[in-house]
Each structure stands twice: as C-alpha cells, then as structure tokens.
Structure 1
Amino acid sequence: MGLDPDRLERIETWMDRYVQDRKFAGSSLLIARDGKEVWFNATGLRNVEDGLPFERDTVARIYSMTKPITSVAVMMLVERGLFTLDTPVSALLPVFSKMSALIPGAERIDQAERCATPTIHQLLTHTSGLSYPFNPGVLPREMDERKIIFGPRQGRLADMVDQVAELPLAFKPGKRWEYSVAIDILGRVVEVVSGQDLDSFFRDHILGPLGMSQTGFSVPEGTGDRFASLYTPVAGNAMDLNAAREGGETLRLTDRHGASPFEAATLYSGGGGLVGTIDDYMAFVEMLRRGGICENARILGPATVDFMLHNHLHGDIASMGPQSFAEQPMDGMGFGLGGAVVLDPARARCPGSVGDFSWGGMASTFFWLDRAQDMSVVFFTQLSPSSSYPARAELKALVQAALVP
C-alpha cells in the first residue's frame, strides 16, 4: 500500500519513546490508504493508576475534533436549503440580534460599539469575532471569569449560548481569525433548525449511519474502564494554555473513569464535547475522503465535501492577524469548514500535500486527510494541553517519510 515497513517501525519507536519519557501515558495510531487499513499501533497505558493498556477500543476525549462533525451537520442543513452560509446567525438565533464589538485598544468589556451580526460562514471559519477563555484579550478574560467554556456538565447548550450573546465580540466580524466557541454556537443552530438536540441529530444523521456506535457526548453505556484517563504536565488547569510548566509530574491525573463529567453530559458541545474510539473517528475521516458517502448512506454530496476542504480565507491564517491559540501552524495554512488546509507545506514547515485537511483536540488527538495520497490518519492520546509537545508535526513527518512510490 505504498508504505515502507522499516520506516513504519520508526513511528512505533517514536510512540514508545513518548511513553518512556512520560510525555504521553499511552497512544494509538491508525493509517488507511484507499479505504484499506495499512497500519495500526497502540502503546502505553490508558490508565496509569490501574495499569490498563491503551488499546484499539479505548474511549478518548476528542475535544475539538468534534468541530468537523458539527461543521458537517451544518452543511447537511445547508444542503436541505434551510439557510445559506451568508445567513446572519441572528436570523436563526434571535438572541444575537443586537451585536457589538470591542473598540480597538479596549481595556474593559464595556468599551464596545455596535456592529454587524456574524454570518454562518464567519462562524464556521472562526472569523466571527468570538473567542475562547484561554485566548489573550479583554473578551477571553471576561469569558474566563464567567466560566464560558461549554463543559459537559455546565447546564444546557441554549443557556450557555445566551451567555455568549450577552458579551461583545472581540472584533468586528470578518476582520480577523480567532479560534473560538463559534462552532458551539453552530451546534445550537443545528438544534433550532432541525428541531432535535445535538446529541440526537448526531446519532440519527451522522454517527448512526457511519456506524460510530462508540462515540457520543457521554461515555457509551457498557464501556466500563475502557474510558481513558486524562493527564497534564501543568500544575494548574489542564485547559490553561498559558500555565507555567514545572519540573515535577509530567502525567498529573486530571480526569478519569468513574469521576468524569463526560460520563453524564448535560451540555452538548459541538465545539469539543464528543468522546469516542479511533475506529469510529476513522469512519468519519473516510467519509470525507470518499466525498460524503459511507457504507450505509450518503452523508453529504461530493461537491459539498470538496467545498468544505478548500481554503475559505483570503490567504493563510497568519495573514488574518490571529491573536489566539490554534491547534495547527498558521503560516502556509488556510482554513476550510471544520479544519485547516495546507496551502504551502514549505511555509507550514512540515512535509505534506497541498490540500491536506486536518484538525486536532485539546487532549493532543489529531487527524489528517491527504486526498492526493488517498490517505487518512488518526492519532489518539490523552494529554492536555495539546501545545505541550510538538507531537503533531513530528508524527506527520514520520508518516510522510514512510510513503514510497
């Protein structure tokens, strides 16, 4: 299948080294080409405390790898003619009818002026003016104080969306790129337009048809101790990207089976709420590679998938003046609908094909889809924050180096 066995062994060595160095407790990697599995490896532990191995059926938090799934849900509704990408979000969620944005150089949250309402397209591409609590700036600080993070046990999605609508935007829509809770807002759009809660819509229209029975907003029943523990190398909040690293424990336990909010979620976060298995997520990536079709159904039309996997920015992310954290490099990387798109591998400083589509999650999970090579890759581990180590760039270089004519 065009992969050098000796060079694949380097990936296994790399995965083992991350475990031996106590960077990751455990991990798994699945590679497919032309719809066929060509390599799988798992190493280390899913639960250090009980000595349980990281295995193929391990259930992991995928956090922001939920975003591409929500983006697909939005495009399914667009395909039905229920709204367009230029529709203002206020037409679907009236709570966003009176929008304001912080004035340039604002130092307080009340220093704002009226502005246009973000469109569905601006929400999909993170150019809406929304933000995340872990970004720098006035709006993120206010979001952090109000604990607006869309956690699995933070009430209901509609109520959290209402809190977001009470705040001004960080900038006027379309002016910058900033990683944000925009996809959570779109999750609420899906609920309102479809008449189903996001959990039900996912199960009926995406997860069910794709056979993703081990994926959901709550850990699936019968999973038992297959749900992996979450670790962090930081002393404070595992979601704080700016927390100082210390020379102590690199695998500090922060969430585990039996005491996790993901075991009974009440808030369905379209931006980061799903848990699932590596085979389940590969089914989703393969659906995109195949142009929207799976064994049991067509999820999207091929033209829609192609549209999603193209760059929707004027240039690369770096040219959009980002001031936020991102799961990917910004130079030489555009942004499609639900993930990043490689525009120039040299500027992105990582081997790959022009058009590679990818995204990752806060617990260091990662996927990419290379249509030029008919290749899908999914990597699972459970360490937050994902900025702790350069694992994604290292992994992509290793996989690309294993490709042979």
Structure 2
Amino acid sequence: MWIGSITKLQTCMACMMGIERGLFTLETNVRTVVPELKDVDLLVGFENGEFPRKPITQPCTSPITLRQLLTHTSGMIYDYGHDGLKEWSAYHGIKDNTFSGTLKGYQKPLIFLPGNGWSYSPGMDWAGRLIEVTSGLTLEQFFKQNIWDKLGMTSTTFRPDLRPDIQARRMQMASRNRKTMEITPGVDCTKILQALISKNPVLMGEDSYDQLTTPQLPSDEHFLEVIRGVGQGHLGQTWDKGAEGTFGFGASIIKQDFTGRRKKGSCNWSGMPGTHCWLDKETGVGGMLTTQILPPGDPMVTDLLLEMEKCLYKHISGQ
C-alpha cells in the first residue's frame, strides 16, 4: 500500500530526534547546510508571450529555517498547487516535483518570502534531505534505525523493489499498473500513532512529542485561507465547515470539537492516494483509513472517513 504524505509525520518525528542528537535546531538556516537550497530564487511573474512564458525571478537570500519547512511556511509549494510554478516547470522542462523522485525536480523557486504565507509544500522533503546531510544516512536508513526497527515496523520501506519479501507478497496480489512509492500495512502505521499517543520513550523525549502536536504558527490567517478557500485545499474537505484550526509540525490541528468526531486539539495527516490518520489527545484515540484512490480528495473517501470516525466515537461514548 502506497501511503504518500503520511510519511511527513515520520519525517517530523525524525527531525525531533535529530534535534535531540544535536544535529541541528528548529532555527537552523537549512540553506547553509543543504547545498541544493543555497541559490533558490523567488518567482515574481512572467514575460509576455504564449505558454510557457519566460519566468521572472529575483534573488532571495532570506534564511529558510527547519521550523518553516515543517510548518509549510518556507515559500515552497507543490506544482499542482500553483499555476505559476506549473508554468515555470513547463518552461524549464522540469518534471512536477510531486512525482519527479529527484532532487532536481524539487529545486524550484519560492512563491513567497519565507515566513510570509502558508502553502502545502515539499518543504518536508527538504527536511528529510537535512537529516541525510547531517546524519550521513539515507532517510530510509535513519527511519529504519530510529523508528521502524524500534517499533517493529517490519513491512515499511521507500523501495519495495529492493525487498524480496515484499515483492513476493505483491506477486500474490492482483496485477495493477501503479507506481508504488512506499509499501506498508496499516498495522505498521498504527504503531506510529500508538507511539505518539503514549509518548513512547524508546523513540524520543516527552518534550519532542509535545512539540509535534502543538500549534506552531504565529498566525492562522494564511492556513485558514487554504482550508476554507476554493476547493477547500489541504484537508479542508475533511473538516467541519468553518472550523477553527491551525498547523503544527506536519500536522493540522483543530481548535474545536468536530460534531460527533474528534475533539479539540486533535491532529491529522493525509496522503495522496486517499490515506488519512488522526490523533485525538483528549480521548486517547487515534485512527487511520487507507485506500488507494486517486485523485486526492475523492468525495467517496472523505465520506468514508467521516462515517468511520462517527461510528468509532459513537462506540466510545456507548450511545
């Protein structure tokens, strides 16, 4: 099963571990550590002409901190979320960073100055690159040594093609022509949620767990514009209409109870192929829904998530 951006939660956890080990801090200017980010410019417009027009960029020397990468306030954005970046990519003949699988595919201009907006972004991928540069391990090696092995997550990998045991299981499944980015059974992912809700000390300290599930934005304005805007971006379609909320390190956080569902302070994450998980600190409950349905935000998947949550909380309340 491809879980997509559910991996962002694990990247945030890995960053907390890196901070505990003294590899970097939340205020580290990642541009001074990760060479590929040194010369990232700001996209300000396009010259006149037919698509794809020549982009107009200007130098940007502002620091990009780890905090900004983890809160999606770095100025980065995925191609699919911004028409200007789509045109920039088309002009330069560089593949959409959502599917490129290469560092080059992510070396694209910012759409706003770091710290001056909010956009769901590949910033988390660069946080992963920071871990690689400072630890000397690949991100998969870091995950395996510090998360997967410690929690008994034996079926999770970024490279299923290099795992004979997983390949054998795949051969038993119905043939599907789908690119697989990560394979993991749901039980592996629930081990992550269990570790978070119990603050399992085998991974990291209590303060690190608390930071992961605590609001981190100085203002919710830009985040709420996305959640409540046209198309209810990011996770807006799974939230109660008009709900108040904010963002932490990789997690959306609600500021009020959802009707018949998760409670105030709950965190949630999602992945492109219709994968969702949440953590409700008030009730001590976490949950996960996994599908393999594209495009993201499919209404049927959203309805299924809402109904599953309502059934669970109805059971908890004994009604």
Q: In which range does the TM-score fall when normalised by the shorter chain?
A: 0.7 to 0.9
Matched residues in 2 for 1:310 and 1:229: separation?
42
Q: Does 1:356 align with 2:266?
A: yes
- Which residue in 1 is equivalent to 2:247? 335
Matched residues in 2 for 1:327 and 1:143: separation?
25
- Which residue in 2 is equivalent to 1:135? 81
**2:97 and 2:106 in contact (8 A); partners too:** no
Query: Judging changes above 3 Å, is the alpha-carbon distance between structure 1 residues 357 and 228 closer, same or farther for their aligned structure 2 residues?
Result: farther
Deviates most, 299-308 or 384-393 = 384-393
Query: Judging changes above 3 Å, is the alpha-carbon distance between structure 1 residues 292 and 139 closer, same or farther for their aligned structure 2 residues?
Result: farther
- Which residue in 1 is equivalent to 2:190? 282
- Which residue in 2 is equivalent to 1:188? 129
User: Which of 91, 101, 105 lines up with 2:42 in the alignment?
Assistant: 101
Tell me how far 1:259 sits from its aligned partner: 4.9
For residues 250-305 of structure 1, give each alpha carbon's deviation from its aligned partner in whole angstroms, at most 9, with x where no partner exists.
Answer: xxxxxx7575543xxxxxxxxxx432011100111111111143xxxx11111111
**2:274 and 2:290 in contact (8 A); partners too:** yes
- Which residue in 2 is equivalent to 1:124? 70
Q: Does 1:111 align with 2:56?
A: yes
Matched residues in 1 for 2:260 and 2:84: separation?
33
Query: Judging changes above 3 Å, is the alpha-carbon distance between structure 1 residues 89 and 369 closer, same or farther for their aligned structure 2 residues?
Result: same
User: Which of 180, 203, 210 lines up with 2:151 in the alignment?
Assistant: 210
**1:311 and 1:336 in contact (8 A); partners too:** yes
Matched residues in 2 for 1:126 and 1:288: separation?
21
**1:308 and 1:337 in contact (8 A); partners too:** yes
**Matched residues, number:** 298
SS of the aligned residue for 1:184 comes to helix
Tell me how far 1:224 sits from its aligned partner: 4.9
1:293-308 to 2 correspondences below 5 Å: 293=201, 298-308=202-212
The alignment yields a C-alpha RMSD, in angstroms, of 2.9
Matched residues in 2 for 1:180 and 1:103: separation?
18
Q: Does 1:400 align with 2:304?
A: no
User: Which of 14, 18, 27 lines up with 1:77 in the alignment?
Assistant: 18
**2:46 and 2:55 in contact (8 A); partners too:** no
Matched residues in 2 for 1:106 and 1:396: separation?
49
1:1-80 to 2 correspondences below 5 Å: 60-80=1-21
For residues 71-117 of structure 1, give each alpha carbon's deviation from its aligned partner in whole angstroms, at most 9, with x where no partner exists.
Answer: 11111111111211111111211222233212379986632223313
Instruction: List alignment gaps of at least 5 residues for structure 2.
Output: none
Matched residues in 2 for 1:194 and 1:261: separation?
29
- Which residue in 2 is equivalent to 1:48? none
**1:175 and 1:320 in contact (8 A); partners too:** no
**2:276 and 2:288 in contact (8 A); partners too:** yes
For 1:221, the aligned partner's letter is P
**2:46 and 2:56 in contact (8 A); partners too:** no
Query: Judging changes above 3 Å, is the alpha-carbon distance between structure 1 residues 101 and 394 closer, same or farther for their aligned structure 2 residues?
Result: farther
For residues 15-68 of structure 1, give each alpha carbon's deviation from its aligned partner in whole angstroms, at most 9, with x where no partner exists.
Answer: xxxxxxxxxxxxxxxxxxxxxxxxxxxxxxxxxxxxxxxxxxxxx110010100
Q: TM-score, normalised by structure 1?
A: 0.66
Tell me how far 1:396 sits from its aligned partner: 2.6
Q: Does 1:309 align with 2:250?
A: no
For residues 236-262 of structure 1, give each alpha carbon's deviation from its aligned partner in whole angstroms, at most 9, with x where no partner exists.
Answer: xxxxxxxxxxxxxxxxxxxx7575543
- Which residue in 2 is equivalent to 1:49? none
- Which residue in 1 is equivalent to 2:106? 164
Structure with bigger helix share is 2
1:232-271 to 2 correspondences below 5 Å: 257=175, 259-262=177-180
For residues 336-376 of structure 1, give each alpha carbon's deviation from its aligned partner in whole angstroms, at most 9, with x where no partner exists.
Answer: 11211111236xx7732111111111111111111111112
Tell me how far 1:379 sits from its aligned partner: 1.4
SS of the aligned residue for 2:110 comes to coil
Deviates most, 142-151 or 77-86 = 142-151
Query: Judging changes above 3 Å, is the alpha-carbon distance between structure 1 residues 260 and 103 closer, same or farther for their aligned structure 2 residues?
Result: closer
**2:95 and 2:105 in contact (8 A); partners too:** no
**1:109 and 1:139 in contact (8 A); partners too:** no
User: Which of 260, 264, 278 lines up with 1:368 in the alignment?
Assistant: 278
Q: TM-score, normalised by structure 2?
A: 0.83
1:314-325 to 2 correspondences below 5 Å: 314-316=218-220, 319=223, 321-322=225-226, 325=233
Query: Judging changes above 3 Å, is the alpha-carbon distance between structure 1 residues 399 and 86 closer, same or farther for their aligned structure 2 residues?
Result: same
Matched residues in 1 for 2:251 and 2:47: separation?
30
Query: Judging changes above 3 Å, is the alpha-carbon distance between structure 1 residues 350 and 65 closer, same or farther for their aligned structure 2 residues?
Result: farther
- Which residue in 2 is equivalent to 1:381? 291
SS of the aligned residue for 2:282 comes to helix
Tell me how far 1:131 sits from its aligned partner: 0.9
